[in-house]
């Protein structure tokens, strides 16, 4: 496998995880404005993309006194997973070059 192909795959994985992080951040920020109609439309559009991932953390730690800390855990896990996967995939693919 060519080194350029490996680089494209690793950068593509990084870009996907960064894009998902931005979508997740927008979803979390929109929940602060739930009363606004425009926010509800955004939440409705992003919920199918983000809720399956957030529900994993919501099942582990339920909201505490009305405060949902699952997004913080989700961001931490996504960051950790992203760094781990990029290094793992990059290392494995570079070893094949």
Q: Tell me the C-alpha distance between 38 and 43, whole Å.
A: 9
pLDDT of residue 8: 86
Residue 3 has pLDDT above 70, yes or no: yes
pLDDT of residue 97: 62
CB-count exposure of residue 26 (10 Å: 0-12, 13-18, 19+): middle
- The domain of 21 spans 3-96
| pLDDT tens digits, one per residue of 23-79 | 999 999 998 888 888 888 999 999 999 999 999 999 998 888 888 899 999 999 999
Total domains in the chain come to: 1
Q: What is the pTM of this model?
A: 0.81
pLDDT of residue 73: 93
């Amino acid at each position: 496998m060519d080194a350029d192909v490996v680089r494209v795959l690793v950068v593509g994985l990084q870009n996907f995880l960064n894009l998902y992080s931005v979508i997740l951040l927008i979803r979390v920020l929109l929940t602060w404005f739930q009363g606004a109609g425009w926010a509800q439309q955004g939440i409705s559009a992003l919920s199918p993309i983000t809720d399956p991932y957030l529900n994993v953390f919501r099942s582990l730690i339920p909201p505490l006194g009305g405060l949902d800390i699952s997004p913080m855990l989700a961001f931490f896990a996504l960051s950790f997973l992203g760094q781990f996967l990029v290094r793992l995939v990059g290392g494995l693919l570079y070893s094949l070059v």
